A and B are shown apart, each in its own frame.
Chain A
Amino acid sequence: MSLAMFLQHGLNGLTLGSLYALIAIGYTMVYGILRLINFAHSEIFMLGAYFVLWGTTLFFLPWYVAMVVAVVVTAGVGILVDRVAYRPLRDAPRISALISAIGVSFFLQNLTIVAFGAIPREVYRPLWLETPMLMGEVRVLPLTIFVPTLSFLLMLGLVWVVYRTKAGLGMRAISKDIETSYIMGVSVNRIISLTFGIGSALAAASGIMWALRYPQLQPVMGSIPGFKAFIAAVFGGIGSIPGAVVGGVILGFTEIMAVAFFPDLAGYRDAFAFVLLIAILLIKPTGLMGAKLEDKV
């Protein structure tokens, strides 16, 4: 494989990886605070892309406006899901909330089928994103630079919120100990809503950019990227935001490179991530950067 080819695959891997990372952040933030695998997160990702379609075709918004509106609306949906389906179960056994999350996931997916139909839909892509540029010998899609850059900026914003604002301090406090946070006067429910909002907004951004990269919208399009992002979050160490980013990028990179180097394995592409998940859970369940969680007896 020539260097040019390698760089091209590298950019593709980075693009896919940053999309995974954006979704993984949502999983990891919610898990860090509530110890809940937010199964509906992959549907939030899908809704983000569909809302853009809705905005451009139904309300004739320009695509960049539609994107911003979609991110905001999806964040609202994420908050609503928490309010309706998870908050009443805060004191219930953990699995109850997980089953509720599975229910929400199916609900959103099938509601999308009801609203938009199950037929794959084309989405508008600005032309300049997909005209390849030549940089020396490397053919570069502007998209593969645009996506990682925007993702990076979004992540910087997130880091600022989590480590430099009062709300972020609340998030970190809750993830350490939710009961003590209550006592210390943290408005726990508002912070949790904010967490869901931010996580959903990032997932929506990822879904929208995913649609630019793979321009076919389907109601089930969220499941596989959602699972993989969850795996990335576990790989990086669930509960850790830097872990989710690193896990996502590594997973995206490995996936693209594995298929590039061993084309015969392309059929096993989707199984690879699950094998990785099982391996991590068995060897190092806390992931690369996760804090050790211990069961209290």
Chain B
Amino acid sequence: MQAQRTILNLLAAAVLGLFLWWAEGHLDGYKIQILNLIAVNIILALSLNLIYGFTGMFSLGHAGFMAIGAYVCSVLILDPAQKEMLFILEPAYTWVQQAQAPFFVAVMAGGLAAAFFGVLVGAPLLRLGDDYLGMATLGFAEIVRVLAINLPRVTNGALGFKGIPGHANLWWNYAWCVFTLFFVVRLVASNSGNVFKAIRDDESAAKAMGIDVFRHKLLSFSLGAFFAGVGGALLGSLVATIDPKMFNFVLTFNVLMIVVTGGLGSITGSVVAGVVITILLEWLRVVENPLFIGDWELPGIPGMRMVVFSLALICIILFRREGFMGKREFNWGWLLRSLGNKAGRHGS
């Protein structure tokens, strides 16, 4: 069964690869952009799910970690000549000016920087419970934003960066996405993963069993921060422009919505919801732009998109709190069995 599963996993990866190869040649730029956003959103959703869904730490600091990842990565992949043009408010520090790295290293550095801040912030904050942790991490994200505005020699202040090289193509994004998926799946199935779930279900009981709660919370939090940083780094390269205004609470809200919709503590849920909600978010842009029916113009309604989504989030929390998947996961055995049953019924 183990070998069979590995083969099926590899097969699925190959199908994904083939699809990406086809998409690259046949789809227009806008659709490819949506595919890219899907990959990034899945990474972000998985990282928040690790922190909140599997370890039970209600964190609202995702936008902060993403900002750190995006800024670190962008500084490393912009070339020095470009940076000289960009920093018009105040000249950059020399180390900012000179920093350079290949894309992979830059994304890694973004993730590691975010993870570093995850440890730095997590160490004091993680002993706070539930809602207080949420507000404190939200405070952290806001502080990152204010710092980004007020350190013009590193971040170019409120103007941010423009013309970030678009290295983050389909292949990079999906490679990171698959790696994140693989890592989180293995982590959750490992001993540490069991400890995370024990802490989520009952922290006091976990402590009584002799688990080092603090260390495991910090581990989960900083790993989540790492992948949030990676997501931010990819997003920065994908949209080519970053500024402090972009990393506000709406960004965290979107990720939270994906995780809650998919199901807290369900990796499958995060992936499925990541795909569906990203497409819906783009598709509903139609509502906000003017619509033409013949000569007749239906004016666009700005704000309508988020009205729909916030309403959807409220409905999910009210009527289906466990999300689409609950804590269930996709597995090959179940798929094969149900396919087998169908085939069997057809045969008889």
Residues of chain A within 8 A (CB-CB) of B321 are 92, 96
A281-B136 CB under 8 A given contacts A85-B318, A88-B318, A274-B142: yes
B113 to chain A, nearest CB (A): 19
Question: Are A271 and B132 touching (Cβ within 8 A)?
Answer: no
Find out whether the CB atom of A285 lies under 8 angstroms from the CB atom of B128. yes
Task: Closest B residue to A113 by CB, please name it.
Answer: B303
- Find out whether the CB atom of A107 lies under 8 angstroms from the CB atom of B311: yes
Which residues of B have CB within 8 Å of A85?
Answer: 314, 318
In the complex, the answer to whether A103 meets B142 with C-beta atoms within 8 Å is no
Contact of A106 with B253 at beta-carbon distance under 8 Å, contacts A88-B318, A230-B135 already known: yes
> Which of B124, B140, B249, B310: most chain A CB closer than 10 A?
B310
**Beta-carbon nearest neighbor of B207 in chain A:** A297
Complex contact B142–A297 (CB within 8 A): no
A114 touching B310, Cβ below 8 Å:
no
A-side interface mostly? helix
Question: Is B260 located at the chain interface by the 8 A CB criterion?
Answer: yes
Bitwise, A215-236 to B at CB < 8 A (1) or not (0) is 0000100010001001100100
Interface of B is mostly: helix
Option from A88, A107, A271 in Cβ contact (under 8 Å) with B146: A271
Give the residues in chain B near A94, CB-CB below 8 Å. 130-131
CA distance A62 to B171 in the complex (A): 62
Q: State the interface size on chain B (CB cutoff 8 A).
A: 41
Q: Are A274 and B139 in contact (CB under 8 A)?
A: yes
Chain B proximity of A34: nearest CB distance (Å): 11
Contact A103 B310 (CB under 8 A): yes
Kindly state whether residue B143 has any CB partner on chain A within 8 Å.
Answer: yes
Other than A114-B304, A268-B150, give 20 A-B pairs with Cβ distance below 8 A.
Answer: A36-B131, A88-B318, A89-B318, A94-B130, A94-B131, A95-B58, A96-B321, A99-B260, A102-B256, A106-B309, A107-B306, A107-B310, A110-B303, A114-B302, A223-B249, A230-B135, A270-B146, A271-B143, A271-B147, A277-B139
A-B contact pairs, 8 of them (CB 8 A): A85-B314, A99-B256, A100-B314, A100-B318, A117-B302, A267-B149, A281-B136, A285-B128
